[in-house]
Structure 1
């Protein structure tokens, strides 16, 4: 595709070029402070954040090369080049053929742009960059190791811009539609797949893109297992149905969870669902700029303890949200709301708070919401009744 054709075919970017430039400048400042001249990242969310380029093609090798004085360079499979030309703010895009060694291609790109011999760092905590790939890259570059640039970009991503927040709110609208449809689909005799199908149909009809993480619609004892998803199981009389819905807009994710009670199950499930709701409310009440992650987590954990359920609440209270691609719709790698975490919350951070409860082989309950941290408290990013739904 010619440069002129590429320019005319470009889609509208999710953010202004000025915003992308500001993000890049912040990352470069952190690179310079760390003594890094070139940063290699294969984290797809970081590539989306800095360039707008989003593709399912991240399961094969692609790398964004950031330097202090040159425009960002994307190296990707040749089949992805035209999409990157159309759907990003990038001006330097290089492709490698499937028959070409990707490490050789990386060396070629670094050499072409005069970046060999610079102080190069790699993002070592990237999920889609294997140890084997790293070792072969080191051999091709002729070095024993590279500095670790993990977290440099993620630190910048913590605070959301106004437009990023707007996108998360819009994802919340899709999420609300999905959850409403899921709740309506719960009847004895329906299957979890029936419920999930209704949820996903409503989610896509509302405008969502594919989620960064499978939503969870699970009935009965299976809901007592972590990260269980719909699997053809029937909804039975006196079941409890665990629902964690999601929505995605411009790759920004929003989540929302509720519990549905069918018939008259053991009263303990109502008490547990109420504890989850109250712990969520306590966490929200403790949230404001200047509070610590530990303080917010402790507020939720105190409620669980007073309800006699503390032993079942063994995970974090929440996690950062924003850009997400499978397998994760959250930004827990950036920050979580967790015990003994002294990290100070700042205005503009966004979190999914999910103090759920699971009893193995018995079932699970959940209340969750996505929220924005403000100077004086929090703002909800979703709007949904804070109640247990009885069917």
Structure 2
């Protein structure tokens, strides 16, 4: 019988996206919040928060995983046994606990929490990863532990990106630009949406992109007037508008980009909407300065759109935070938005995607976007592609 061998010691942390010091600083900052809230530990279950704190990433996050971060000391990671080797290659600390197929991961989680002597545990009640049924199971298994709400503690720290995180997003932006340039070139009468999507995705991947947290959006003709529609084998015809959007990734950090194409001369209304999108994006970018509320950039864009008479063609937020992403979303829109009523002040190191789209629903969509880093001088776009509608 073949013997099962352990990976060499040098394997530990060999696939980490950042040096251990980066993650230690993050953990220490989060631990300060844990202590301030009077908790013994914080339980992270969302894949984005687990990655941000530990470096752990996998396509197998559909299986339950959790990170226990004590108020003092090193974290402990709980994963499915099949994931242990990959976890060991990613993370900066040694303690990994496992659960086997056929075992109840909640029972293993309870054993870990109680074994660590935790009596006041903060949990991510607003997180999307744990189902309501599993949360009930966790509450039952930890009935002797006081459960506090730790929602948003990690997310608030994720909003401002470190220098290394910004570098990763800049890399992702380069991949996204390569993908968009290829998609623009592929758009022509007779080409299928699939051909455009293949060119877009292939170019982004060849440029360096890893797995994307959401599929690119490629839609043409009347289907381009449907929000979040994507390729379905349709052949592009003369007179069609084509809507293109993608996000590429580097070390799980994403940057997104949107552009519009028209096969032939755009109708006057479509061109006027596109011109409005361009002006609204410029206005939003001009309002994005440190110390200004997120709502100010949205208001600047909305003012342009309203003045042009396209209020009902917009009806959405002007932007959302970007950073670490796992499917089903390439953005951090659940953390922070550029939208009405969001009074969070902009800070250097925040990163946003601003997709300014105007739609004639069921007929066409035109729009433009940029991923930007907030600097001391304002918003810095990460793409150099022309923003005007591309005529084919």
In structure 1, distance between residues paired with 2:87 and 2:126: 24
Q: Secondary structure at the match of 1:327?
A: coil
Q: 1:262 to 1:145 in 2, by over 3 A?
A: farther
How far has the Cα of 1:237 moved from its partner? 0.6
In structure 1, distance between residues paired with 2:128 and 2:289: 31
Matched, 1:41 2:41: no
How far has the Cα of 1:114 moved from its partner? 2.8
The aligned counterpart of 1:347 is: 348
List per-residue Cα deviations over 1:158-198 (Å, max 9, x = no partner). 11111111110000110010001001101111111110011
How far has the Cα of 1:339 moved from its partner? 0.8
How far has the Cα of 1:143 moved from its partner? 4.5
Q: Secondary structure at the match of 1:268?
A: helix
Matched, 1:188 2:208: no
How far has the Cα of 1:334 moved from its partner? 1.2
How far has the Cα of 1:3 moved from its partner? 7.4
Where does 1:223-234 land on structure 2 (aligned, <5 Å)? 223-234=224-235
Q: Secondary structure at the match of 1:288?
A: coil
The aligned counterpart of 1:206 is: 207
Q: Secondary structure at the match of 1:364?
A: strand
The aligned counterpart of 1:216 is: 217
Deviates more, 1:284-293 or 1:135-144: 135-144
How far has the Cα of 1:18 moved from its partner? 1.1
Q: 1:145 to 1:355 in 2, by over 3 A?
A: farther
The aligned counterpart of 2:55 is: 52
In structure 1, distance between residues paired with 2:103 and 2:366: 50
The aligned counterpart of 1:159 is: 160
Matched, 1:67 2:70: yes
The aligned counterpart of 1:91 is: 94
In structure 2, distance between residues paired with 1:145 and 1:301: 45
How far has the Cα of 1:266 moved from its partner? 2.0
The aligned counterpart of 1:108 is: 111
Matched, 1:148 2:149: yes
Q: Secondary structure at the match of 1:324?
A: coil
Task: Check conservation: 2:121, 2:146, Cα contact below 8 A.
Answer: no
In structure 2, distance between residues paired with 1:8 and 1:121: 32
Q: Secondary structure at the match of 1:57?
A: coil
Task: Check conservation: 1:58, 1:128, Cα contact below 8 A.
Answer: no
Q: 1:76 to 1:4 in 2, by over 3 A?
A: closer
Q: Secondary structure at the match of 1:47?
A: helix
In structure 1, distance between residues paired with 2:207 and 2:266: 33
Deviates more, 1:31-40 or 1:205-214: 31-40
How far has the Cα of 1:108 moved from its partner? 1.4
* Cα RMSD after superposing both structures: 1.5
Aligned length: 389
Query: Where does structure 2 lack aligned partners over 5 or more consecutive residues?
Result: none
The aligned counterpart of 2:317 is: 316
TM-score, with normalisation over the residues of structure 2?
0.96
How far has the Cα of 1:33 moved from its partner? 1.6
The aligned counterpart of 2:241 is: 240
Query: Where does structure 1 lack aligned partners over 5 or more consecutive residues?
Result: none
Task: Check conservation: 1:169, 1:382, Cα contact below 8 A.
Answer: no
The aligned counterpart of 2:35 is: 32
Task: Check conservation: 1:38, 1:121, Cα contact below 8 A.
Answer: yes
In structure 2, distance between residues paired with 1:294 and 1:362: 30
Deviates more, 1:35-44 or 1:345-354: 35-44
In structure 2, distance between residues paired with 1:357 and 1:279: 11
Q: 1:152 to 1:225 in 2, by over 3 A?
A: same
The aligned counterpart of 2:286 is: 285
List per-residue Cα deviations over 1:182-220 (Å, max 9, x = no partner). 011011111111100110110111110011111111111
Q: Secondary structure at the match of 1:133?
A: helix
List per-residue Cα deviations over 1:61-93 (Å, max 9, x = no partner). 111111112311111110001100112213111
Deviates more, 1:378-387 or 1:201-210: 378-387
In structure 2, distance between residues paired with 1:224 and 1:105: 48
The aligned counterpart of 1:337 is: 338
In structure 1, distance between residues paired with 2:20 and 2:348: 24
Where does 1:122-141 land on structure 2 (aligned, <5 Å)? 122-141=123-142
Task: Check conservation: 2:17, 2:90, Cα contact below 8 A.
Answer: no
